[in-house]
Structure 1
Amino acid sequence: MANIKSAKKRILVTEARTARNKSIKSAVKTSIKKVEATVAAKDKAAATVALKEAIATIEKAGSKGIYHKNNVARKVSRLTKMVNSVA
């Protein structure tokens, strides 16, 4: 366990950030699953709406530094490609 005051503070701050990041990552995964579910159901309209919400969630996570910009781009690209494949 840390003895120095600044080290103790870093532990607390890290725990808080980890919890926040975990929450945001969970929201991103949930939005991705919603898009995948609508694509599996072959519902183009619902998939488009879910995609729009998922992109907003992913971009927000990227702007907060939780995901790297290339990771964000890859996730958005894959989801868009998936939705566009629905006939």
Structure 2
Amino acid sequence: MISLYNRLRQEVVQLICDLKHMEPAALTSKPDLLQLGFNLADVVDVMQAVEKKYDIVIAGDLPVYTVDDFVRIVQQFSRRFAL
């Protein structure tokens, strides 16, 4: 059985891949978006897509540079994935 965290992580990975036209394997090998060549505008695009999909607001001062950063924020702020 897949854990809630892993299911959410798969969703976030797929969202980023769809947005940036990339393969999921790229995000699993290097989860840091800046190391993958994303610039800050790309990270903001991902942030906005995550906010829209999960109906949350991500504060501008929260550090979100990895897939796991986004997953933790969704878990923290989304009622749907609250632990």
TM-score (norm 1): 0.32
Which of the pair is proportionally richer in helix? 1
Structure of larger gyration radius:
1
